Amino acid sequence: MDIFECIATRRSIRKFLDVPVDQETILSIVEAGTYAPSCGNVQDWRFIVVDSKDLMKTISEYSLGQECIHNAAILVVICSDPEQTERHYGLRGEKLYTIQNCAAATQNMLLAGHALGLGGVWIGAFDENKVRDILGIPSSVRPQAILAFGYPAEVPDEKIVKDLSLITFFNGYGARIKEVHRVLKDYHVDWERRVSEAHSAARRVQERAITVTKEASDQVKTASSRGEAIIRGYQKKLSEKLEETKKRLDKIEKKRKR
C-alpha cells in the first residue's frame, strides 16, 4: 500500500474482532508515532499502551461509555508534556505546538495501524482528569487523545471529502479558483482514480481478512474447547485413580492396625 492509498482508505473503525494484536505490531504502530514532526524536534509526547481489559472498561466509562474503547484489542493514550514546549517556545509552545506535535504523532499511528491491517479510531471525548488518575499520569502531563486499535469487524464506506476548490485558496484567504484541478495540472484525475481503485482493493482485502480472522478465531476456540475437554477427561481419570489409591491405602492401614 503506497502512502496515497493508505491516506485515502483509512477510516475510523469502531467495531473490532475478538482477536489479540501481537506486541510487535503494537510497537511498530507506536514507533510510527515517534517519527512525527515536532516543534524544534522536542518530541514532547509520551505514549501509554493499555491492554488490560479492566482498565479499558474503566476508560470506556470515562469516555461517555464508548463501546469501541472497551472492545478494542489495545489502546494507545497519547500524552503531552506542555512544560517542555513552554520552556522552549513560551505560550505558543504550551498552548499550540504541543497539541500539534501530538496530533501529528496520533495520525502517524492511525496510518501505520491501517497499513498493518488494523482498524483504529481517534478518541477525543474523555474525562482527562479521570483518565489521568487511573493511569497514574502526573498533573503536569496532559492525556490528549486515545487511539483504540483492533482487527476490523466492519468495512467502512468510501469517504466523501469536501471538494478541493471549496477549501483551497490561492494567494489569499477566500480567493477560490474554479478549475483548481487545471491549476494543479489535472492531478485530481489521477487522485480520484487512485482512491477509487485503492478503495475497491482495500474493501476486498478487508472483507477477506474479516472472514479469515473469524475462521481462525473460531478454530482457536474449537481447539481450545477440545483441549479443555481432553484435560477434563484426564482430570477425571486422575481423580478416579487417586480415589482408588486412597481406598487401597485405607485397607492396608486397617490391616496394619489389626
Ligand X SMILES: Cc1cc2nc3c(=O)[nH]c(=O)nc-3n(C[C@H](O)[C@H](O)[C@H](O)COP(=O)(O)O)c2cc1C
Q: Which residues of the shown chain bind ligand X in the complex (CB under 6 A)? A: 11-12, 14, 66, 121-125, 159
CB atoms closer than 10 angstroms to residue 96: 13
3-state SS assignment for residue 65:
coil
- Are 5 and 203 in contact by the 8 Å Cβ rule? The answer is no
The three cell numbers of residue 187 are 492531478
Tell me the closest approach of the beta carbon of residue 145 to ligand X, in angstroms. 7
Residue 119 CA to residue 152 CA, distance in Å, equals 5
The three cell numbers of residue 154 are 466492519
| Nearest-CB residue for ligand X | 124
| Choice between 38 and 66, CB closer to ligand X | 66
Residue 160 CA to residue 88 CA, distance in Å, equals 40
| Choice between 14 and 199, CB closer to ligand X | 14
| Choice between 60 and 84, CB closer to ligand X | 60
Tell me the closest approach of the beta carbon of residue 152 to ligand X, in angstroms. 12
Residue 60 CA to residue 64 CA, distance in Å, equals 7
Tell me the closest approach of the beta carbon of residue 66 to ligand X, in angstroms. 6
| Choice between 65 and 136, CB closer to ligand X | 65
Tell me the closest approach of the beta carbon of residue 130 to ligand X, in angstroms. 15
